[in-house]
């Protein structure tokens, strides 16, 4: 899919492709109301529209990402409502059949999340869970009783922790897909620090991605 990426907007990579494939092949978006959290360039939102979603809403805290998603959705003829705000805030009081999320999940040396740098596309605190834990806890506010959450992240950020967080929120989660991808520039640049923290094995340069699906238990 050809998309425009202004500076500071997350460029869709293997994690986006993996989640989009699960969504498409599992028929999760077909005739459903879909919410894309942290939409970036709008890649997942557009993929949901192409997969037959009844309606698609996309949210990002970045103004550049909001503008990029609006432009990309127009270029692809996808009817997407694009909102700016923090996670689920802009859709408080609404519910959706499907929520998809490819949030920042890369562990970073600082616990403070960047607000105005490109790093906010991937920095997620020292354990990589600053956004993941919020999504797991807060998604129940916007998920219909028969709805589904699909979230993708690296196993470095803790697959078991995500499943446990979902369970604490009253959701039953399971791993739907896995993929091994080479480290990108960000992970390569942090490899020594990740090794020092015990987050990866010495010499590890392959990242394991997971797509987790969750529904009400």
**Strand 206-216, strand 143-154: pairing:** antiparallel
Whether the predicted pLDDT of 120 surpasses 70: no
Is 3 part of any domain? no
The chain-wide mean pLDDT, for the chain, equals 91
Give me the pLDDT at residue 183, please. Answer: 87
Give me the pLDDT at residue 107, please. Answer: 87
The tens digit of pLDDT for each residue in 59-101 reads 999 899 999 999 999 999 999 999 999 999 999 999 999 999 9
Q: Which residues pair with 82 in a beta bridge?
A: 58
Is 31 part of any domain? yes
Give me the pLDDT at residue 27, please. Answer: 97
The total number of structural domains in the chain stands at: 1
Is 2 part of any domain? no
Is 183 part of any domain? yes
Give me the pLDDT at residue 12, please. Answer: 72
Is 89 part of any domain? yes
Distance from the first to the final alpha carbon of the chain:
35
- Pinpoint the alpha helices (H) of the chain: 14-25, 43-50, 63-75, 130-138, 159-168, 185-196
**What mean pLDDT do residues 152-165 have?**
96
Highest mean pLDDT among 41-45, 108-112, 124-128: 41-45
């Amino acid at each position: 899919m050809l998309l425009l990426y202004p500076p500071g907007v997350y460029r869709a990579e293997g994690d986006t492709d993996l989640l989009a494939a699960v969504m498409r092949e599992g028929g999760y978006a077909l005739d459903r109301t879909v919410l894309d959290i942290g939409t970036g360039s709008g890649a997942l939102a557009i993929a949901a529209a192409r997969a037959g979603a009844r309606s698609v809403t996309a949210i990002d805290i970045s103004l550049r990402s909001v503008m990029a998603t609006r432009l990309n959705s127009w270029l692809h003829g996808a009817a997407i409502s694009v909102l700016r705000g923090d996670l689920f805030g802009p859709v408080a009081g609404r519910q959706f059949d499907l929520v998809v999320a490819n949030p920042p999940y890369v562990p970073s040396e600082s616990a403070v999340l960047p607000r105005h740098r490109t790093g906010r596309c991937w920095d997620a605190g020292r354990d990589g869970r600053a956004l993941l834990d919020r999504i797991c806890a807060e998604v129940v506010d916007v998920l219909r009783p028969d709805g589904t959450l699909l979230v993708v992240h690296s196993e470095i950020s803790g697959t078991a922790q995500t499943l446990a967080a979902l369970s604490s929120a009253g959701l039953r989660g399971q791993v739907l897909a896995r993929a091994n991808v080479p480290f990108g520039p960000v992970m390569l640049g942090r490899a020594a620090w990740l090794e020092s923290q015990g987050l990866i094995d010495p010499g590890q340069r392959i990242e394991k991605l997971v797509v987790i699906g969750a529904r009400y238990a």
